[in-house]
Structure formats: C-alpha cells, structure tokens
C-alpha cells in the first residue's frame, strides 16, 4: 500500500512538472514590433557596386608590422574621399598610428554621445591561382562584385559611407556625431589600428553611444525550429589562442624506430585534444540569444528552451550535436590545425610540433584553456602560446536604447527577420572599444549563401550587389534612427 502511494505521488509530481513546462512554453509570446514609418531608400545598385569595385582594386593587403611601407592605405583613403565627397567635406580626418584613420562627422547636438562605425581597410592576401578573375580586378558580373575584400569587409565600409552620403545629399545634417573608425590590421588582431584608435579616443575623453562593426550574421531559422530568417547581433566575441604542442625524443633513422616516437606522441596528444572537448556551458549571451528566439520557435523547441533550467544537460548535449555553429556557441573549441616533424620521410625527428587553434568561450580564459590542454595531454608534451592570445571580450548590454534602435533598424530593413543577441564566434576590431562604451555590437547586414560565406578569405570572394544595396539601406536607416 505504501509503495502504491509513493508511486502515485511520483506520478503526480511528474504530471505537475509536465503541466508547468507546457504552461511555461505557452507563455512565450512574440514581442510586438510596433509601428514604423520606414520606406526603403532609393539606392542605385550600379553606383554602389562600382564604388565597391573601385575599393577592391586597391591592394590594401595586411602588413606584417607597422614599419612596412603602407602608402597603399593613403591611396585607399584618397579613393574614399573622392568617392564620398559630401562625407569627406563634412568630416574631420585624423590619422592614427600612420595608417588607421578616423573620419568624424560632427553632429549639431553636443549633448549626444558620438556613434562609432567600424570597418577595416586591410584584406588578406590573394594568389591569382584558382581565381576565375583577377582577385584585385574589381570585376562586376552576374550580379556580384568579385575580388579580395569584397565581403571582408570593404562592402560594409562602402555601405556605411554610402548610407551617410545619401542622407547628406538630401540636405540633412546629423544631430549626433558619427565617427568612422577604419583600422588597417584587423586580420592581425588590430593592435596597430583599432587598438590605437581606441586609445586615442580615450585620451581625448571620448565616450561613445554605441559601436557597430562586422560580425553578426543572418541565418536560416529552420535549424532552430523557426520558419523565418534570424538576424544575430554579436554582443561579445570569443577569446583567441594558438597553442603549440611540442614533443622531444631521440631522432634517428626510420628503419630502426624507438618504441615511442616524437610524431607518435604528438599525434596522440592532438587526438586527445580533439576528442576530449571542453564542457559546454550557458553564458550570458547564449541565454539571451535563446530567450529572444524561444517565442518564435515551433512548440517542441519552445518547450525545451522555455524549460532550459530543467532540461539543461539534455539541451547542452543536443546543441553541441546539432551543428558546428551551435556547438561553438556552447563551448570553447580546440582545433588541431598544423603539424610538423622531419623534413624527409625516412627520418625520425628529434622534435615534433603541432598547433591547436582555440576560440575561448565567455567565462573562460587563455590560461584556463592552457591548463585544460595540459591536463588532457599530460606532462610529456610542452605547451606554449603564440603571440596574439586574448581573453574573451566583455558582454555588451542588450538593455540599452542603442541596442533597441539597432534591433528596430534590422526589423525595418529586413522585413520579417527575427533579431537576437549572440556571442560572435570569430574576431573583430570591436573588442578594442569596450573602454569607450558598454554598447559594442557586431552586425553584418548582408545575407549570404553558404557557398559565398565559404569564399571569405578563399577563392573567388564576391559580394552580392542586391545585398550591398540592402546593406546601404540598413546604414542609412540606422543613422536616421540614432543620429538624425
């Protein structure tokens, strides 16, 4: 009898829990987008495409250090000033650390904090081999602008400048000062460009209303049970570290191998790093992301996310398996990327080395990641970090007028898109600006196919001209919502 009572009690508790979970899911309501007076701006596709093509033709390849000849960046800046004459005439230009630049377009209301629009002038190298066109030819064909930097990220720079140029051409003047901050070494962590711009502004006592940079993305929501596109705003970015694993053993001729070789031990260590992944965990930006998305999901996903506190272990496991994208949102990733041993195939090397690229999640550090790798590979493997390691950035607030206006702008220009914050999984210049504002955001206003996204830093990089027009409309509307 007592056993039956206990059984009924357990069943009752389970049923009550299920009811609570269902009610939680049903209470997830979509926010009211409100009314808008937005109408799309008339942007000339041919004109903006030619402006981007001209920018691509200038070979602003990242320099290895700031002592190299960077005169090409002066050429590029002259091109921008000639291409956007109204912006250039309204702006005060300041060169920072030789090649980085600030164009400050002063607003009429000095009580308003400035807005900073970021972009980087530099691009990664491009060898002509394998390209369908000259990578620096700025070829326009079939609705695309081809060339290195056409996506990363001269397209965003051109769209940002064109958006303001159009407003100035209409005879309108900004109330809020707009700072265009263009670094020249983002592809090498931005320490000569963006970091120095940030230090300069801080030395002048500047505080910013917000920062907008590349980084957020537009996704198909189907992977998360949403029938619409998702526009993600990066509120932070992961840390970065390259760890070198090194094994020393007696070398010699491969015809008489030792019991354990340097390459064998290194391979074992690299396998362990790849196999024994760091634990996933909920960070502030991932919680905010799924909270924003949950009301728009189908009932199954909504039920799971509304009850994240109850289903947390299961949810973390599922999200780590669904796709590489959701996996890297949840944990620090460690990817073996390089290995080297002997220079000839019949030699046992005395030293074998491998590199592990780590993208470090919020709440962890370069040092905690190093300690984890040490625990995984053991004491026989030396571990050192290459130059350029950096901890994760702070997390920007989503409870600000700047974030709300950015969200409003996206929903106006990209009709029907769902907006949510998220942790940006790569790197940008924006990480250097947290000393100036709590509102550092990353959003790239171009929808991309998977194929085109894979062209970034690769062969046949290209920018869809229709999306370039839409990106220009985005920046024009962002300025109207926040600076005019």
Active site residues: 122, 186
Q: What is the CA radius of gyration of the chain?
A: 25
Q: What's the CA gap between 420 and 283, in Å, rounded?
A: 15
Q: Which residues contact 341 (CB under 8 A, 6 or more apart)?
A: 262, 263, 266, 349, 352, 353
What SS3 class is residue 391?
Answer: coil
**Which residue carries 């209470």 as its tokens?**
27
Instruction: Give the residues across from 4 on adjacent strands.
Output: none
Q: Which residues contact 268 (CB under 8 A, 6 or more apart)?
A: none
Tell how strand 462-464 and strand 144-146 pair up.
antiparallel
For residues 259-277, one letter each, b for 16 or more C-beta atoms within 10 angstroms of the residue's C-beta and e for the rest, the string is: eebbbbbbbbbbeebeeee
The separation between CA 107 and the C-alpha centre of its own chain, rounded to angstroms, equals: 29
* CA separation for the pair 289, 211 (Å, rounded): 20
Q: What backbone phi and psi angles, to 5 degrees, belong to 174?
A: -70, 145
- Secondary element (H or E) of residue 353: strand 351-360
CB atoms inside a 10 Å sphere around CB 309: 9
Interstrand relation of 91-96 and 100-105 (parallel, antiparallel or unpaired): antiparallel
Place of tokens 């769902």: 418
Handedness of CA 376, 377, 380, 382 (dihedral sign): negative
Question: Under a CB-based contact definition with an 8 Å cutoff, are residues 444 and 156 in contact?
Answer: yes
In angstroms, the CA 268 to CA 260 distance is: 11
What's the helix, strand, coil split of the chain in %, to 5?
Answer: 40, 20, 40
Strand order in the sheet with 140-141: 140-141, 144-146, 462-464
Give the CA distances from residue 82 to residues 78, 140, 154, 155, 179, in Å, rounded to whole numbers and listed in that order: 6, 21, 16, 17, 18
> 184: number of CA atoms within 13 Å, CB side?
28
Crossing angle of helices 465-482 and 401-413, in 10° steps, is 140
């Amino acid at each position: 009898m007592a056993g039956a009572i206990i059984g009924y009690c357990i069943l009752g508790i389970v049923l009550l829990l299920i009811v609570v979970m269902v009610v939680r899911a049903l209470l997830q309501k979509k926010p009211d987008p409100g009314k808008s007076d937005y109408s799309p701006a008339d942007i000339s596709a041919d004109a903006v495409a030619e402006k981007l093509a001209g920018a691509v033709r200038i070979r602003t390849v990242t320099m290895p250090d700031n002592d190299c000849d960077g005169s090409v960046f002066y050429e590029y800046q002259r091109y921008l000033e000639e291409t956007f004459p109204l912006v250039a005439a309204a702006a005060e230009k300041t060169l920072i650390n030789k090649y980085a630049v600030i164009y400050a377009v002063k607003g009429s209301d000095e009580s308003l904090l400035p807005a900073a629009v970021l972009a980087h002038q530099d691009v990664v190298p491009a060898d002509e081999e394998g390209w369908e066109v000259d990578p620096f030819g700025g070829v326009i064909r079939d609705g695309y602008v081809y060339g290195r930097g056409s996506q990363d990220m001269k397209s965003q720079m051109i769209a940002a400048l064109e958006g303001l140029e159009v407003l100035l051409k209409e005879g309108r003047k900004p109330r809020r000062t707009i700072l265009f901050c263009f670094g020249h070494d983002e592809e090498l962590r931005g320490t000569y460009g963006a970091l120095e711009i940030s230090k300069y502004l801080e030395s002048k006592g500047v505080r910013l209303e917000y920062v907008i940079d590349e980084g957020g993305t537009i996704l198909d929501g189907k992977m998360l049970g949403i029938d619409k596109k998702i526009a993600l705003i990066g509120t932070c970015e992961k840390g970065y570290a390259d760890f070198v694993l090194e094994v020393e053993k007696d070398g010699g001729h491969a015809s008489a191998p030792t019991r354990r070789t340097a390459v064998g031990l290194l391979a074992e260590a690299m396998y362990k790093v790849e196999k024994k992944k760091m634990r996933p965990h909920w960070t502030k930006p991932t919680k905010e992301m799924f909270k924003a998305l949950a009301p728009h999901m189908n009932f199954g996903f909504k039920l799971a996310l509304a009850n994240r506190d109850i289903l947390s272990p299961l949810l973390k496991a599922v999200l780590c398996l669904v796709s590489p994208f959701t996996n890297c949102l949840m944990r620090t990733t460690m990817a073996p990327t390089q290995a080297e041993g002997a220079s000839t195939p019949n030699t046992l090397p005395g030293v074998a080395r491998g590199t592990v690229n780590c993208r470090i999640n919020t709440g962890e550090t370069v040092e905690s990641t190093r300690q984890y790798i040490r625990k995984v590979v053991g004491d026989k493997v030396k571990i050192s970090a290459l130059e350029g390691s950096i901890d994760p950035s702070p997390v920007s607030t989503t409870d600000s007028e700047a974030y709300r206006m950015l969200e409003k702008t996206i929903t106006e220009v990209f009709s029907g898109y769902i907006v949510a914050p998220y942790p940006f999984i790569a790197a940008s210049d924006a990480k250097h600006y947290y000393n100036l504002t709590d509102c550092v955001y990353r959003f790239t206003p171009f929808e991309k196919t998977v194929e085109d996204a894979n062209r970034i830093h690769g062969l046949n990089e290209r920018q869809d001209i229709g999306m370039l027009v839409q990106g220009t409309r985005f920046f024009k509307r962002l300025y109207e919502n926040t600076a005019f």
